[in-house]
Amino acid sequence: MQFYSTNDASHKVGLAEAIFRGLPADNGLYMPERIDPLPLSFFEELPSLSFAEIGFRVTQHLLGDDVPAEELKALVYDAVNFPAPVVRLDERRSVLELFHGPSLAFKDFGARFMSRLMGHFNRGNDKQLVILVATSGDTGGAVAAGFYQTPGIEVVILYPKGKVSELQEKQLTTLGHNIHALEIEGTFDDCQAIVKRAFLDEELRSQIRLSSANSINISRLIPQSFYYFEAYKQLATKDPVAFCIPSGNFGNLTAGLLAMKMGLPVSQFIAATNRNDVVPEYLKSGNYRPRPSVPTLSNAMDVGAPSNFARMLNLYGQVSGLDPHDPATHAAMSKVVTGYAYDDHQTEDTVREVEQKFGYTIDPHGAVGYLALTEWQRDNPNVQGVILETAHPSKFKPDVERILGRAIEVPERLAELAFREKVSTEFGTAFEPVRQWLLKRYT
């Protein structure tokens, strides 16, 4: 399979280059050249397929023979080693729990798949690959857990000292082996600036094979399409389903659009956001106005310029392709995706309401999704809806406990991190000392 840049369809690269590069040089995003419908036999067999087998077949269908079948199967089965259960709230509404992985959020799917795919293409290369990432908390945890003990790959994570939660810090600093945490006395932006400098440093790059684990990497998107098929299987329905996706950078929603292109019967995608409502506003008005984000309770969705919007435009772009203000593009996209936005007050009320009505503890991101699905179903009462529950409520423990007025449980795998010893290397905001550290360690 070839991948093209959303900024220039004639710029094409193979799978390995797309994942190691991450971003095309023209600042677009990689997209698969073709997304064909899965064969009818896939849907006939779906009820009897395991989640991992679904992942394998979808990947093989999408990527063709870029990875030999036996290896691809082993790789996907290893990446998809935890479930994504659908939990029913009532006859029309369900929650798809995406938080059963190591870092308790859906990003584990992307990180685990990406690490194994990179590991595959990296084999036989005697120079180790160094993944450099800056994190404000969440992404780092998923990347650390996802790449832990991947042969031939070292991971260096930069995080702002004192600015991530204690459990988040433990996720970055207690694994050891090939995972290294650099604690930067500064902000997330300082961490990101250091990473950017490293990628621009030709001399450094001539000595160390550097790559990123950015959320825009196409290899993180592919596995996020698996759980749409898995949810459909668990619902055991013949009718199209509505998927409601609490969204920030719109990677999850874009992966749903890929699943639909591959033939999944979807009635509607519902984009749910907090007050950072650039996309719902666009879907309603046709006006695309990216702007600085505002902080909210559902902070993993605090995004003012969603990076995957270019991919969404590309899927529905008509005459003038990437122009959001092209009426045909807007019409095509808003037929498939509907958007709703809610504030923190509504989110808090909903966390309480879902607990009272269904005895289900939903996290603030899922609560925004619940609101949007419920609103959409007012006009579409006969369609089954699935809310993607993107993280475990204990990831936002202080807020959820305050809202519910009671203690909530932290899953064992996260709770035990509190007792592990933190190991990190401290730096200021200057690039040179980090550069020297990298050179000393990896050359």
Ligand X SMILES: *Cc1c(COP(=O)(O)O)cnc(C)c1O
300 contacts ligand X (rule: CB under 6 A) = yes
Cβ atoms of 170 and 137 closer than 8 Å? no
Find the radius of gyration of the CA atoms of the chain.
21
Give the closest residue to 6 by CA, choosing from 31, 34, 23, 33. 31
101, 160, 246, 256: which one contacts ligand X (CB under 6 A)?
246
The answer to whether residue 272 forms part of the interface with ligand X (CB under 6 A) is: no
Counting beta carbons within 10 angstroms of the beta carbon of residue 236, is it exposed (0 to 12), middle (13 to 18) or buried (19 or more)?
A: exposed
By C-beta, is 134 or 301 nearer to ligand X?
301
Considering the complex, what minimum distance in angstroms separates the CB of residue 308 from ligand X?
7
Q: Least CB distance from residue 424 to ligand X, whole Å?
A: 23
| Residues 5/28, Cβ–Cβ less than 8 Å | yes
Work out how close the CB of 389 gets to ligand X at its nearest, in angstroms, rounded to a whole number: 9
For the bound state, the minimum distance from the C-beta of residue 132 to ligand X, rounded and expressed in Å, comes to: 20
Quote the least distance from Cβ 390 to ligand X, whole Å: 3
Q: Which two tokens stand for residue 337?
A: 């995706």
Least distance from ligand X to the Cβ atom of residue 248, Å: 3
Decide if residue 250 touches ligand X (CB under 6 A). yes
C-beta of 133: minimal distance to ligand X in Å? Answer: 14
User: Is 112 an interacting residue with respect to ligand X (CB under 6 A)?
Assistant: no
Residues 6 or more apart in contact with residue 400 via CB below 8 angstroms: 351, 361, 363, 364, 393, 394, 408
Paired residues of 3 in beta bridges:
13, 32
Of 330, 168, 342, the C-alpha closest to 246 is 342
* Piece of 82-90, 145-153, 184-192, 245-253 that binds ligand X (CB under 6 A): 245-253
Q: What tokens appear for 42 in the block? A: 């896939």
> CB-based burial of residue 264 (10 Å sphere; 0-12 exposed, 13-18 middle, 19+ buried)?
buried
- The whole-angstrom separation of Cα 166 and Cα 171 is 9
Under rule CB under 6 A, residue 54 binds ligand X:
no
Distance from the Cα of residue 190 to its chain's centroid: 23
- Which residues, 136 to 175, sit near ligand X by CB under 6 A? 138
The tally of CA atoms less than 13 A away on the side-chain side of residue 128 is: 17
> Residues 107, 161, 209, 220: which binds ligand X (CB under 6 A)?
107
- Contact region for ligand X (CB under 6 A) — 37-45, 127-135, 240-248, 330-338? 240-248
Least distance in angstroms from the C-beta of 10 to ligand X:
28
Q: Which of residues 97 and 154 has its CB atom nearest to ligand X in the complex?
A: 97
- Tell me the two tokens of residue 165: 């939660």
Residue window 337-366: x/- pattern of binding to ligand X, with contact defined by CB under 6 A: ----------------------------x-
Region of 148-156, 244-252, 261-269, 434-442 interacting with ligand X (CB under 6 A): 244-252
Window of 33-41, 144-152, 242-250, 333-341 that interacts with ligand X by CB under 6 A: 242-250
Confirm or reject binding of residue 222 to ligand X (CB under 6 A).
Answer: no
Q: Say how many residues touch ligand X, by CB under 6 A.
A: 15
Closest contact distance (angstroms) between CB of 64 and ligand X is: 26
- The 378-407 contact track toward ligand X, x by CB under 6 A, reads ------------xx----------------
State the nearest-atom distance from the C-beta of 108 to ligand X, in Å.
10
Distance CA(300)–CA(48), nearest Å, equals: 34
Please work out, in degrees rounded to the nearest 5, the angle formed at the alpha carbon of residue 254 by the alpha carbons of 341 and 33.
Answer: 155
Nearest to 115 by CA among 97, 104, 129, 98: 129
Cα(224)–Cα(143) distance, integer angstroms: 15
Q: Residues 301, 362, 367, 434: which binds ligand X (CB under 6 A)?
A: 301
Give the residue with the Cβ less far from ligand X, 75 or 245: 245
**Smallest distance, Å, CB 110 to ligand X?**
9
Of 351, 341, 368, 338, nearest to 405 (Cα)?
A: 351
Which residue's CB is nearer to ligand X, number 214 or number 249?
249
Contact (Cβ atoms closer than 8 angstroms) between residue 221 and residue 254: yes
Nearer to ligand X, 101 or 246 (CB): 246
Comparing CB distances to ligand X, the nearer of 160 and 256 is 256
Q: Which stretch binds ligand X (CB under 6 A): 122-130, 228-236, 247-255, 288-296?
A: 247-255
105 binds ligand X (CB under 6 A): yes
Q: Give the length of the chain.
A: 443
354 and 89 Cβ atoms separated by less than 8 Å? yes
Q: Which amino acid is at 322?
A: L
Residues in contact with ligand X by the rule CB under 6 A: 105, 107, 138, 246-252, 300-301, 365, 390-391
